[in-house]
Chain A
């Protein structure tokens, strides 16, 4: 960067220290993009683009939410754009790990003796890693829906907007993805349930 390049944007409401803004937000933005993309390099490029977009739009930010919430949305949007470019969101079927029914339409589900609480499970050292691994094992067109709805907490209508699909499509994908996750995580849930 040229030595005389100004690093401060002057705008009516406040001045923005670009370097400080980046240092404060880069880490969590990168972690968020990387969790969605599953790789560091692409996530770094994505965050760079997201930061440029955010800083360009910051003078017009209307403070209807916190800056972090707004920045999070920009990061998510930019990550989805990257996933689209990489054709990661093309729909595939998810037939594995789905609920089972007998010939008469009755559910086949092994009996659960007890259920651990989420807190009990999360106390265990490897639970988070295990969930992350399970989520990563799903096709990205499904895992993205769980990330946006259950991890990020966007509602179904917002997820549909972010992905440019209908709400019913979101619900179908969400249900299949959650069902698959439940099945993959079952050994851990059952083991902890038995120990608690």
Chain B
């Protein structure tokens, strides 16, 4: 919920972003985020982004929360070595084994009669 004070602060910031040289807007900042975190943002744009953060508390906070969210997502990874309780249904083992065995030992074609 924005207070009157927040609105005034944003106005002041907007004037600063417009009047200071080499500044980008919050919307432009938004377009840089993914490449910045990927490490693929060109050097000149990194400088613009970092200059913006120095003035814009909102974008600085936003980026920190966004990065935190990304790190939390990584915690969902199911590790192959992590014991996952699961009984393997015998019919699944049989179905897989049958399918694999048949592809390794394809049914032989009937031998041609050599007399033909």
Which residues of A does B touch, CB under 8 Å? Answer: 1, 5-7, 9, 18-19, 22-23, 25-28, 30-32, 35, 44, 48, 51-52, 55-56, 68, 71-72, 99, 101-102, 104-112, 115-116, 118, 121-122, 127-128, 131-132, 135, 146-147, 150-153, 156, 171, 174-175, 178-179, 181-182, 185-186, 189
> Contacts A52-B99, A55-B96 known; A118 to B68 CB distance under 8 Å?
yes
Binds A, one of B42-50, B81-89, B107-115: B81-89
- Report chain B residues within 8 Å CB of A147: 76
> Residue A27 contacts which of B34, B77, B85 (CB distance < 8 angstroms)?
B85
Determine if A23 and B88 form an interchain contact, defined as CB atoms under 8 angstroms apart.
Answer: yes
Nearest CB of A to B62, in Å: 5
> Residue B65 contacts which of A6, A56, A131, A189 (CB distance < 8 angstroms)?
A189
User: Roughly how many angstroms separate A178 CA and B27 CA in the complex, as a whole number?
Assistant: 16
A selection of 16 A-B contacts at a CB cut-off of 8 Å is A18-B96, A28-B84, A30-B86, A68-B80, A99-B62, A101-B27, A105-B14, A110-B1, A115-B65, A118-B68, A146-B73, A151-B73, A156-B38, A175-B34, A179-B66, A182-B65
Looking at B1, B57, B61, which has the most chain A CB atoms within 10 Å of its CB? Answer: B61
B95 CB-CB contact with A under 8 Å = yes
Our count of residue pairs bridging A and B at CB distance below 8 angstroms stands at 164
B70 CB-CB contact with A under 8 Å = yes
Determine if A44 and B92 form an interchain contact, defined as CB atoms under 8 angstroms apart.
Answer: yes
- Report chain A residues within 8 Å CB of B19: none
Main SS at interface, chain B: helix
User: Roughly how many angstroms separate A137 CA and B29 CA in the complex, as a whole number?
Assistant: 27
Looking at B57, B61, B78, which has the most chain A CB atoms within 10 Å of its CB? Answer: B78
What are the 6 A-B residue pairs with the smallest beta carbon separation, nearest first?
A27-B84, A1-B94, A107-B26, A109-B58, A27-B86, A150-B73
User: Roughly how many angstroms separate A51 CA and B35 CA in the complex, as a whole number?
Assistant: 36
Determine if B104 and A28 form an interchain contact, defined as CB atoms under 8 angstroms apart.
Answer: no
- Report chain B residues within 8 Å CB of A22: 88, 92-93, 96
Determine if B101 and A6 form an interchain contact, defined as CB atoms under 8 angstroms apart.
Answer: yes
- Report chain A residues within 8 Å CB of B74: 150-151, 153
User: Roughly how many angstroms separate A182 CA and B62 CA in the complex, as a whole number?
Assistant: 9
